Amino acid sequence: MTDPVEMKYKITMDLKKYDKAVEELSKGNPEQVERGFNLIKQHNLYHHGLKLFTGNEVISKRIKEALGDYLHVNKDYKLAGLVLESCGAYAKALESFKVKISFSREKSMNYFFL
C-alpha cells in the first residue's frame, strides 16, 4: 500500500499547488519534511512554511535562515539582517547589515559628489 502522504503530495504537485504539497509533506516522516523544506525554498513559500511549522523550532529556524539568505541575494539587506538575527544566524545577519551600511554610504557619497 502506498503512503497517503506521498499520494496527496504527488496529486498536489501535479496540480502545481506547491503550498498544499508542502502541507502534505509536513505531516510525513523526517525525510518528507525535509523535502517539504526544499520545496519551500524552491518556490519561495517562506511565509507559508513559517505558519505551517510554527510548532517546530528547528524547521522554523531553518526556514528563517533560508528566507534571510533569499532576501540578501535579492538585495533586501536590512530585512535579511533582521530575519537572520531572529533565527540566531548572527554572522550572516552582521554581513547583511554591513552590506546595507556600505550601500547606504555609497549612495550618500554619490549624492554629494554628482
This prediction's pTM: 0.86
* End-to-end Cα, the chain, rounded Å: 70
Is 114 part of a structural domain of the chain?
Answer: no
Residue 35 lies in a domain: yes
Q: Is residue 106 part of a domain?
A: no
Condensed to tens digits (0 to 9), the pLDDT of residues 32-66 reads 999 999 999 999 999 999 999 999 999 999 999 99
Asked, for residue 102, whether it belongs to a domain, the answer is no
Look at residue 1 and tell me whether its pLDDT is greater than 50: no
The answer to whether position 81 is within a domain reads no
Q: What is the pLDDT of residue 2?
A: 84
Least confident segment among 41-45, 66-70, 87-91, 96-100: 96-100
How many domains is the chain partitioned into structurally?
1
In a domain, 78, yes or no: no
**Domain with 18 in it:** 1-54
24 located within any domain: yes
